[in-house]
Amino acid sequence: MRALILNSGLGSRMGVLTSEHPKCMTEISPRETILSRQLRLLADAGVDEVVMTTGLFDEVLVNYCRSLELPIRFTFVKNPVYADTNYIYSIYCAREHLDDDIVLMHGDIVFEAEVLDKLVASPVSCMTVSSTLPLPEKDFKAVVKDGIVQKVGIEFFDDAMEAQALYLLKRNDWKLWLDKIVEFCEAGKTKVYAENALNELDGKANIHALDVQDLLCQEIDNPEDLANVSGRLKEIENRTVYMTFSTDIIHGGHIQIIRKAQKLGKLIIGVLSDEAVANYKRFPLVPATERMVMFENIAGVYKVVEQKTLSYRENLEKFKPDFVVHGDDWVTGFQKPVRDEVVSILAAYGGKLVEFPYANDQKYKDLDNRAKAELSLPDVRRSRLKKLLEMKGLVTVMEAHSGITGLIVEKTCVYQDGGTKQFDAMWVSSLCDSTAKGKPDIELVDMTSRFRTIDDIMEVTTKPIIFDGDTGGLTEHFVYTVRSLERMGVSMIIIEDKTGLKKNSLFGTEVQQTQDSIENFSAKIRAGKAAQKTPDFMICARIESLILERGMDDALTRAFAFVEAGADAIMIHSRKKDPSEIKEFIEKFRAQDKATPIVLVPTSFNTVYEEEWKELGANIIIYANQLTRTGFPAMQNAARTILENHRAKECDDTCMSIKEIINLIPEE
Ligand code: SPV
Ligand code: MG
C-alpha cells in the first residue's frame, strides 16, 4: 500500500501563509505542519511509500520532506502546468507510480490517527464521510446509496453526506478510476476535479462510505479553518490514555498495543504493584520500581505511575483519562469484574474504553512460561518467602503433601470484590506427609522420604516451601537437614522444642511428650544458623509450651531465648478452639519484639480472619492439614459407594471430570 498526496495546488485562499511554501507546510501546532502530521500518521499506520505531486515551491517541499527523516520512501512528481490545471492532471502525471492499493489524500487534510487507522484497516475501498456534520455549502459531499459512494462533488445535496478527499482505493477499484482520469486528461479535461472522472463510473468503483462521524477529518482552505483545526488538535493532543501492565518482560506484543494506545493521546502507564501481581498471577521477577523504569524508557510514554490494586479505581479517579486501553481478553473470565468497574467509572465522567484484540501469540506465551520456570529454580524460590513477608506483611500458606496437592496450592485462585487471592506458599506438613504414606506422625517417615515429597512438589510448582522439620532430630543431623533443604530451594524449616519420641501436637497432654530445654534447643538453632550457606534460608522455632500447658510465661521466655539464639521466626501453637491464648502471646511478644515474624497454625482456633491476625501482628498463617482432611473422606466415601452399589455409576457425581484432571495437570 502506498499513499498519494496531492500538493500541486496554489493554496491561494490562505493568503500570506502560502507566500513562501505550499499550503501543506502550514503549521497547525507548535511542532507540526499539515504535511508532517500526515506523513507521521502514515508511517505509524505502516504506509512507507509516498507518491507526492508538487507544483509551485516544489524544491522547498522536497527538501522539507527529506528533512523530516521519516521511514518513508518518496517519489515526487511535479505537475509542470500546476497553475493551469487541477489535481486531476497531477494524478495523470503520477500515473506510472500508482499501481498498488492507494491511500489518496489532498495535501490540506488534517485528520486524527483513528481516522487513518480505520481507513487503512478497511477491507474494501472507501472514502471518509461524516453522518454527523452538516452538509457544507461549497465543499465536497458524497452521494451514498446502500453504503456505496455514487457521486462526489460540491453540487450534490440529495442523499449526500459531508465528505473529505481522503480515500482508501483497492488496486482494482482504483484502476477503474485512474483509467477514467487518463481518459479525461487525454481529452483535455484537466481543469475539473478528479472526482468528475469518478462520477462517470456511477458507483462501479465500489467505494464504500467510511463514516468517521465527529472524529477530526477536515481540510484547511483558509485561515479560519486553520484556527479551528489547530484548536481541535490541541484538544486531541491533551487527551490522556491509561493502560495497566503487570509484565516483567516487555515484548513486541506490548509495544504494539502501546503504540496503538499512544495514537489516542498522552499515554499514562499504571504499573501493577508487586503485591497485586503476586496475588493476581505470580510473584514478579522484576520489582515494581524497576518495572516502572522499564516503561518510563519507552519512547512516547507520557507518565508511569504505580497501580496498587487490580482495581483501576484509584488511578482512574485521580487522572480521569479520556481513554482506557486493554486487550479484549478481559471481556469474560476472572477479570470481568475489574472491567465492569472500569466501564462504570469511565461512564461517570465520559471516558471511553478501547479494547484491542489480545495478542494470543505462542511465542509470547513461551516467554512467560520461561519466566515462570525461573521462579521454580532453587535460588529464586528460596528467597521469595522473605520477599513476600516484606511485601505483604501477612503470608498465607497451604499444606501440600504430593505433586497433585502442590498443584492445587499453586493454582487455586479466587476472585473477590474485583481482586484475586491465592496462597503464597506451601507447607510440607509432617502430619500430612506421614498420613499420605499411611504412617503415624512420629518422625517415622525418614528425611530421605520427606525430601522425596518436597522434590515431587517442587517439580510441578513455583511457590515457596515451608518444611515441617518436627524436632529437627539430633543437632548433629539437623545441620545436614538445613543444608539439604537450602540446596533444594526450601525457604524455611520449622522445628519444635520437643525431644524424644515426638507425637503430633494436637494430642496435647493426652500422650507423653517431652519439651526440650531452652539451652539444648537454642544450641540446635545456633548450629542450624551456622550451617546454612545463604542469607535467604529461615529457621523458625516452634514453641510447644501452650500445647503442653506450661503457661504463657514459659512460652514467652522461650520465644525470646530462641530469637536470641538466631531463630528467624517464632511459631506459637495451641490446640484450643478459643484463640485468646494465641492473641495474648502475640500481644506480649510484640510488646518487646516488633520484627521477628510470628507463625500460626490455626487448625483448632480457626474462627479468626486473616486480616485480624495481621492487625494483631502475626505474619504467616499456615493451613496445615485441610487438603488431607477433605481429600481422604471423599475417597473413603467413593470406595464405600462402589461397594454398596456394586458398580461405579452412583459415585460418578462426586468425581472430578477427566477433563478437569487433564487441565489441572498440563503436559509440558
Ligand atoms: C503438621 O502439620 O504436621 C504440624 C502442625 O506439625 S500440627 O499438626 O498442628 O502439629
Ligand atoms: Mg508436624
Ligand 2 centroid–CA 401 distance in Å is 12
- How sure is the predictor about 370, in pLDDT bands with cuts at 50, 70 and 90? confident
Q: Which of 494, 543, 625 to mutate to test the pocket of ligand 1 (most atoms within 8 A of CB)?
A: 625
Q: Point out which residues pair with 166 in neighbouring strands.
A: 105
CA distance 52 to 77: 6
Please report, as a single letter, which amino acid is at residue 119: L
pLDDT over 90, % of the chain: 81
- Going by the DSSP 8-state scheme, the letter that residue 517 receives in this structure is P
Residue 222, H or E segment: none
- How sure is the predictor about 280, in pLDDT bands with cuts at 50, 70 and 90? confident
What is the grid cell recorded at 637?
466415601
Closest among 493, 460, 468 to 375, alpha carbons compared: 460
Q: Is residue 136 predicted with pLDDT exceeding 80?
A: yes
CA distance 576 to 583: 12
pLDDT at 665: 80
Q: Which of 398, 409, 427, 430 to mutate to test the pocket of ligand 1 (most atoms within 8 A of CB)?
A: 430
- How sure is the predictor about 369, in pLDDT bands with cuts at 50, 70 and 90? confident
CA distance 496 to 572: 10
- Nearest-atom number in ligand 1 for the CA of 496 is 6
Burial of 522 (0-12, 13-18, 19+ CB in 10 A): buried
- Nearest-atom number in ligand 1 for the CA of 427 is 2
Nearest residue (by CA) to ligand 1, atom 7, is 505
Tell me the mean pLDDT in the region 88-96.
95
Q: Is the dihedral of CA 312, 315, 321, 327 positive or negative?
A: negative
Q: Point out which residues pair with 303 in neighbouring strands.
A: 268
For residue 469, the ligand closest to its alpha carbon is 2
- Nearest-atom number in ligand 1 for the CA of 504 is 10
% helix, strand, coil for the chain, step of 5? 45, 20, 35
Tell me the mean pLDDT in the region 182-200.
95
Ligand 1 centroid–CA 622 distance in Å is 10
Ligand 1 centroid–CA 592 distance in Å is 27
- Residues 354-363 have pLDDT tens digits of 998 887 788 8
Nearest residue (by CA) to ligand 1, atom 5, is 624
Q: Which residues are catalytic?
A: 441
- Nearest-atom number in ligand 1 for the CA of 430 is 3
pLDDT at 666: 72
Q: Which of 426, 495, 504 to mutate to test the pocket of ligand 1 (most atoms within 8 A of CB)?
A: 504
Tell me the mean pLDDT in the region 13-32.
80
Ligand 2 centroid–CA 153 distance in Å is 87
- Write the Ramachandran bin of 106: left for phi over 0, alpha for psi from -120 to 50, otherwise beta: beta
CA distance 341 to 354: 14
Q: Is residue 400 predicted with pLDDT exceeding 90?
A: yes
| DSSP-derived 3-state class of residue 81 | coil
Q: Is residue 187 predicted with pLDDT exceeding 90?
A: yes
Ligand 1 centroid–CA 524 distance in Å is 20
Closest among 336, 438, 454, 385 to 599, alpha carbons compared: 385
Q: Which of 399, 505, 621 to mutate to test the pocket of ligand 1 (most atoms within 8 A of CB)?
A: 505
- Nearest-atom number in ligand 1 for the CA of 434 is 3
Question: What are the pocket residues of ligand 1 if the criterion is a CB atom closer than 6 Å to any ligand atom?
Answer: 429-431, 441, 468, 504-506, 601, 603, 624-625
- Nearest-atom number in ligand 1 for the CA of 399 is 2
Ligand 1 centroid–CA 251 distance in Å is 45
- Residues 451-502 have pLDDT tens digits of 999 999 999 999 999 999 999 999 999 999 999 999 999 999 999 999 988 8
Tell me the mean pLDDT in the region 646-660.
92
Nearest residue (by CA) to ligand 1, atom 2, is 429
pLDDT at 398: 98
- Nearest-atom number in ligand 1 for the CA of 575 is 9
Query: Which residues are close to ligand 2, an ion, with C-beta < 5 A?
Result: 430-431, 468
Tell me the mean pLDDT in the region 635-646.
97
Ligand 1 centroid–CA 495 distance in Å is 11
Nearest residue (by CA) to ligand 1, atom 10, is 505
Tell me what the pLDDT averaged over the chain comes to.
Answer: 93
- How sure is the predictor about 12, in pLDDT bands with cuts at 50, 70 and 90? low
Closest among 274, 272, 245, 246 to 258, alpha carbons compared: 245
What is the grid cell recorded at 559?
520465644
Q: Is residue 15 predicted with pLDDT exceeding 70?
A: no
Beta-sheet strands, E only, within 489-590: 492-496, 498-499, 514-515, 538-543, 569-572
**Between residues 279 and 271, which one has the greater pLDDT?**
271
- Residues 588-607 have pLDDT tens digits of 999 999 999 999 999 999 99
For residue 443, the ligand closest to its alpha carbon is 2
CA distance 317 to 306: 14
CA distance 318 to 325: 17
Residue 263, H or E segment: none
pLDDT at 14: 63
Q: Is residue 30 predicted with pLDDT exceeding 90?
A: no
Tell me the mean pLDDT in the region 132-156.
93
Please report, as a single letter, which amino acid is at residue 642: I
Tell me the mean pLDDT in the region 228-245.
94
Ligand 1 centroid–CA 541 distance in Å is 14
- Residues 55-77 have pLDDT tens digits of 988 999 999 999 999 999 999 99
Q: Is residue 420 predicted with pLDDT exceeding 90?
A: no
- How sure is the predictor about 509, in pLDDT bands with cuts at 50, 70 and 90? confident
Q: In what order do the strands lie in the sheet with 352-356?
A: 301-307, 266-272, 240-245, 323-327, 352-356
**Residue 295, φ and ψ in degrees, nearest 5:** -75, -35
Contact 515, 545 (CB under 8 A): yes
Ligand 1 centroid–CA 462 distance in Å is 23
pLDDT at 387: 94
